[in-house]
A and B are shown apart, each in its own frame.
Chain A
């Protein structure tokens, strides 16, 4: 299978470079071909949408147009990108006049968006298109014995109508399904669908750190060895802000947080040095130890 690939913006590029590396490695191992769209603009991340919605939708429509031009569906590796894309896509699909208005601007650059592009997160691709059975076959190092707490990221779950959760109810539990396909055990806890607090960084750091603390502590109390998330922004908070969260609670939380692609990479036999764990704020040693690595 082949996808037009939006790897995300400068934020993960600088903040979480390990995500891109592992995403590329995992797709390579699974035989998923990626056509790079790294020249496409930032999705707006929800922030730009609040400032100038038409501008943001025009940028996203141009990304869609680029993918359509390649004749390929679009794949993301970030919950936030996926959510923003899905919302933009819905707006453009439901209001033909609006799409026409935006296409006028695109046409000046020689681009056009038809309104029908398929946009999916790698996680959905694996569960819905690639198939968990096939993923299971590709596993060479089963994660059996590892207890993993899933953390979706708001934009991958809400608003449910834009994300097609009624048409694809399996998307509500796809992260758990994937964890199990890799041989690990998915930990049930309330925080899995809640908010990591990333959007509050620099605005209300106290709240942001508190959210990180709440979810990582809850995962720990439910016996998780680590958390996994399909969103680099969530990762930057759950991992990067965890030291502040620990300070806030005057306790050492020490809950390792993996990117989705790192978890899959481990199961597919990629060696830890190649998975970028050294970039994390919270050490991943305990996870590797549990897997005998």
Chain B
């Protein structure tokens, strides 16, 4: 099978801006985009820089924009994205600076994750043995912890893109899906004792109420974490726990009031 790729190149040492380079090569029918990129490196051009490690969608290294949408290259079959042998456009993830070629600078991503204090904060000393927790409570948290921090959701986040286009520095932008989903993992964990502080911090500007509910993060997440659903779960908990003075919360409560008043239920 012939694969045709158009890859965004950027060489910081060249003094030139970004450009696109086309490659055509013969690949196996079941090849993934990552396998093709590695084949390009081996056979045609070993200067193409990219990150990859596990080839099995668990390390999160190879997130990149393929035909405009963030995906894991190791999980994307060439046949699935090259309709009728068309050209596949490969670019680094969006919403982050680019170091070189397909290697993005994920520092802004990690800044956002760190901002939600992503570690368990128990109240008081732990028990002698394990905390007793029902499986039904732990198992869904495993689904949220399935997040491999690949950056796909942040890459394609509408609000983040909008704010960066407005010229906002990273520290002042939307926390973005990955960090917020990570925050939910703790709010939803009965062993964590910092709900009130977390929800307070998350309700502020650029937190849970700034999501525009476009579902891009849900659509692009390779591990079915559905970050937006976690953001909405945080909204629910925030209101339940009395953090309702923010615009988004008030709006939600007013909307709910209107619906309840006018419905049969």
Contact = CB atoms under 8 A, between A and B. Distances in A.
B232 to A, nearest CB: 4
A194 B214 contact: yes
A199 B262 contact: no
B262 A42 contact: yes
Contacts of A59: 259, 263, 265
Interface residues on B, range: 35 or more
A144 B86 CA distance: 29
Interface string B202-215: 00000001111111
Contacts, number: 100
Interface residues of A, number: 38
Contacts of A214: 162, 165
A211 B174 CA distance: 15
A59 B216 CA distance: 26
B248 interface: yes
A49 B232 contact: yes
Interface string A82-108: 000000000000000000000001000
A47 B235 CA distance: 10
Determine the main DSSP class of B at the interface with A: helix
A210 B162 contact: yes
Interface stretch (A22-30, A130-138, A152-160, A263-271): A152-160
A170 to B, nearest CB: 13
B138 interface: no
A204 B255 CA distance: 17
A158 B256 contact: no
B215 A159 contact: yes
B236 interface: yes
Contacts of A200: 159, 210, 212
Nearest to A45: B255
Interface in A191-207: 194-195, 197, 199-200, 202-204, 206-207
A291 B125 CA distance: 75
Interface in A30-80: 41-42, 44-52, 55, 58-59, 62
Contacts of B163: 207, 210
Contact of B265 (A45, A55, A158): A55
Contact of A199 (B213, B256, B258, B263): B213
Which are the 5 A-B pairs with shortest beta-carbon distances? A158-B215, A195-B214, A41-B263, A50-B232, A154-B214
